[in-house]
């Protein structure tokens, strides 16, 4: 493990995650309160933005918490929501473009539900690596599968866009 050097402040290391959290949560609030706030696409965009903020908040918490066991617990609990980013992003892209592919959305949701119980185990997150910018999860095999599926989903959505 690489530990934070004494010259590097945790505060400085957390600035990008704090800015990301603020920006994503702000986008979410604008989508929910601005024009078209009742539009389902805006609500889905708000949910995607909220998850972006939530991921950044998780990075902050996991870095600030000094107890390794508690940091792993926080990270694993955060993935209870984060695991649903794939079906949410696909659904948002479909609604935004007016594409009707409910079976793909259902398959993505089913995959997230299948992975969900494993997020609380070492098969998902085994521990953490520490860097100057904070702690990052030491991925287990299910986490790697999740990231691979996320990459396919993002590629699919970008191709649609």
DSSP H or E run through 62: helix 40-64
The tens digit of pLDDT for each residue in 30-47 reads 999 988 888 999 999 999
- Please tell me the predicted confidence (pLDDT) of residue 66: 83
Axis-axis angle for helices 102-115, 85-97 (nearest 10): 170
- Rounded CA separation 99/121 (Å): 36
Listed residue (94, 144, 109) closest to 124, CA to CA: 144
- Average pLDDT on 141-160 reads 96
- Please tell me the predicted confidence (pLDDT) of residue 9: 55
The tens digit of pLDDT for each residue in 43-79 reads 999 999 999 999 999 989 988 888 888 999 999 999 9
- Rounded CA separation 132/8 (Å): 7
- Rounded CA separation 101/91 (Å): 9
Cβ atoms of 48 and 88 within 8 Å: the answer is: yes
pLDDT at residue 2 above 60? no
pLDDT at residue 6 above 90? no
Cβ atoms of 64 and 10 within 8 Å: the answer is: yes
């Amino acid at each position: 493990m690489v530990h934070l050097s004494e010259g590097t402040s945790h505060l400085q290391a957390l600035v990008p995650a704090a800015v990301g959290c603020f920006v994503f949560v702000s986008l979410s609030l604008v989508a929910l309160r601005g024009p078209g706030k009742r539009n389902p696409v805006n609500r889905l965009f708000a949910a995607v933005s909220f998850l972006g903020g939530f991921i950044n908040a998780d990075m902050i918490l996991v870095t600030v918490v000094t107890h390794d066991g508690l940091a792993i617990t926080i990270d694993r609990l955060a993935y209870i929501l984060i695991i649903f980013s794939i079906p949410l992003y696909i659904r948002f892209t479909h609604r935004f473009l007016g594409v009707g592919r409910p079976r793909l959305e259902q398959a993505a949701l089913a995959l997230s539900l299948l992975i969900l119980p494993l997020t609380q185990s070492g098969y998902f997150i085994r521990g953490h690596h520490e860097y100057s910018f904070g702690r990052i999860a030491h991925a287990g095999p299910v986490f790697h599968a999740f990231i691979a599926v996320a990459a396919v989903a993002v590629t699919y959505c970008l191709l649609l866009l």
